[in-house]
Structure 1
Amino acid sequence: MITEIFNGLPIPPHFNSPRVGEVWRVPYQIRVQEAKQWAKQYEIQPASQDQLKTCLILIDLQNTFCIPEFELFVRGKSGNGAVEDNIRLCEFIYRNLGKITEIIATMDTHRAFQIFHPIFWINQQGEHPTPATLISVEDIQNQVWKVNPEVANNISGIDVQFLEQYALHYTQSLAQKNQYPLTIWPYHSMLGGIGHSLVSAVEEALFFHSIARCSQVQFEMKGNHPLTENYSVLQPEVLEDFQGGLIAKPNQELIENILKFDRILIAGQAKSHCVAWTIDHLLTEIQARDIHLAQKVYLLEDCTSPVVIPGIVDYTEQANTAFERFAAAGMQIIQSLSLLD
């Protein structure tokens, strides 16, 4: 069960909510000693002893999305969405430390030459699209945007002719599935960069949980294929090329791992994109097996925010509509003040 009573374990004294929107080094060795003492003081058992197995899935809680001065800060409607979400999330983890069996953290992972980055495309003047540009099927057909020929030199086994045909196929595939059109994003979550890292306060909470509960965090990388977006950690947006060749495939191993838990909690960024897409793919798997499994999925609604770029795009309505659909399918919508029983 999950109740809406504000109690549970206290918040450890090291947690400093005003610093959740900053980047800093986690003092691991100090936290190890504190976590061990915390577990002893509050009689927190190792996760292996849990009778009710609970998994917390955290979607892309990385600096690039969650720190205000970084590339794709998720503002939400409040303007400070991801920071506020992560304060609530960290407190949720600490209060429910003894009930969360395992934590899975997804990591959006990119390099420069990918289909959603500006360098991949050029116009007739040789200019690259600016971030937030939407590229449609018609844009490809009318050569408003063309594949940058230099891209082929950075993707093994691919030539320009293939890429040009693939670009049309890719945008058509998104349109046919009624998905968001190809969006050009600023360079973000760059592999090896500071934006790729977990938010410091979240990393600290996960590390504290690992030590206190003897439970290793499972990290899942996504988004590193150059020819497809990968909002969902469970499946890329496009799986085949225009010839029917396999581009990518669903993360079936992760799907099986998630569904083995008795209770599945989901939070992260952004509600309108990577969170919604992950939940949608999970729901598809559940409906193919047993619709009643949806009842063991809990969505932490106040620990996620939609993409909002003032004056450009606002995906709040799409995000809320998706969550309404998930709730109608049997998933539970909860708040961070909830207590795991």
Structure 2
Amino acid sequence: MKTTYENIIDVNRIASFESKESITDILTLARGENIPHASKDRQRALLLAIDVQNDFMQNIGSLPVAGSKGDVQRLTRWMYCNLESLTHVICSLDCHSMMQIFHPVWWLDQEGKHPKPFTIISYEDVASGIWVAANGESERSLEYLRNLESAGNKQLCIWPYHCLEGTFGAKLESEFTKMLYFHAAARNATPKLIYKGQNPYTEMYGIIKAEYDKEHYINYAVLDAIQNCDAIFIAGEASSHCVLASVEQILEYYAADRSVTSRITLLEDCMSPIIGFEDSTRQRFEELRDRHGIQIRKSTEVIL
């Protein structure tokens, strides 16, 4: 390519308040390339980028993931090196309002105080009155906690306010955005942005479905895109939560079709866990690899 990686990405501005997308300049550079359109690819490769957003970036985010800055650098480098063979990119974006069941403002204790971030709230806590829903939604909150616990899903964790609609934290990280749109313009391949987590009554770690919701929503558009690609690569933040949940949900849906699951590769050096979840995350990914045939590889080992 005529355009160098450094013409697109300023690694010193990854996960920085100083980074600017300069998308017009990026599109101009991309249009100067002479690369076949993605529609002509015989082997279709998909990148599923999970929550590469400012609020999950170290130094600038409200819920920072240690290692995320290096993850973005390696991911954008991988996208650049494989740009002529990377067909399509789907990005998930956490997107929340202030009043959601996992944010402090939803709950009050017996003294009228909101819970601190990372407080765990159980069904029994609410049933016994330790916590009440500040908005009068205690019954629906109880229903959620009952179904969450009966299904053996994650416990309800109160997270810091993050990825609030319209805020800086909810945006894709700026240097990643530049590579995303360079790829889009150079290959005439519009990226697909999938918003998740907007239902105030539930948590939604994975891109496919919520932890529990009455409507049992499933994102079939993403599942169909996966099935229609010859190779699927997954990266993003945090590997211990939203990436892992997304992978588990995809593999649950395609559990009986190893021809699909064996096409999936985790770019392990383009994702990082929340501190304290390193060992459990690695162990779980290895279990999924052994059961479903997914691959776990470093980005430098994957050439399309």
Alignment of 1:298-313 (within 5 A): 298-308=265-275
243, 246, 252: which one pairs with 1:275?
Answer: 243
User: For 1:85, what is the secondary structure of its paired residue?
Assistant: helix
Per-residue CA shift, 1:258-312, capped at 9, x if unaligned?
A: 2211111100001111100000010011114x1232110010111111112xxxx
21, 30, 33: which one pairs with 1:35?
Answer: 30
Q: TM-score normalized by structure 1?
A: 0.84
- Structure 1 portions without partners, runs of 5+: 1-8, 76-80, 152-159, 241-245, 309-313
Runs of 4+ in 1 over 4 A off after TM superposition: none
Identify the residue that residue 172 of structure 1 maps to in structure 2: 146
Do the aligned partners of 1:67 and 1:199 also contact (CA within 8 Å) in 2?
A: no
Shift of 1:142: 1.9
Do the aligned partners of 1:292 and 1:330 also contact (CA within 8 Å) in 2?
A: no
Q: Percent identity?
A: 32
42, 50, 56: which one pairs with 2:41?
Answer: 50
- Structure 2 portions without partners, runs of 5+: none
Identify the residue that residue 14 of structure 1 maps to in structure 2: 8
Shift of 1:202: 0.3
Identify the residue that residue 186 of structure 2 maps to in structure 1: 212
Q: What is the Cα-based RMSD across aligned positions, in Å? A: 1.5
Do residues 330 (structure 1) and 304 (structure 2) align? no
Shift of 1:179: 2.1
Q: TM-score normalized by structure 2?
A: 0.94
Counterpart of 1:259, as a letter, is Q
Identify the residue that residue 254 of structure 1 maps to in structure 2: 222
Do the aligned partners of 1:64 and 1:70 also contact (CA within 8 Å) in 2?
A: yes
Do the aligned partners of 2:26 and 2:182 also contact (CA within 8 Å) in 1?
A: yes
Shift of 1:140: 1.5
Shift of 1:139: 1.1
Alignment of 1:1-341 (within 5 A): 11-23=5-17, 24-37=19-32, 39-40=33-34, 44-75=35-66, 81-148=67-134, 151=135, 160=136, 163-240=137-214, 246=215, 248-288=216-256, 290-308=257-275, 314-328=276-290, 329-341=292-304
Shift of 1:31: 1.4
Do the aligned partners of 2:93 and 2:193 also contact (CA within 8 Å) in 1?
A: yes
Shift of 1:251: 1.1
Distance 1:182 1:97 in 2: 39
Shift of 1:116: 0.3
Distance 2:267 2:25 in 1: 30
Shift of 1:67: 4.1
User: For 2:300, what is the secondary structure of its paired residue?
Assistant: coil
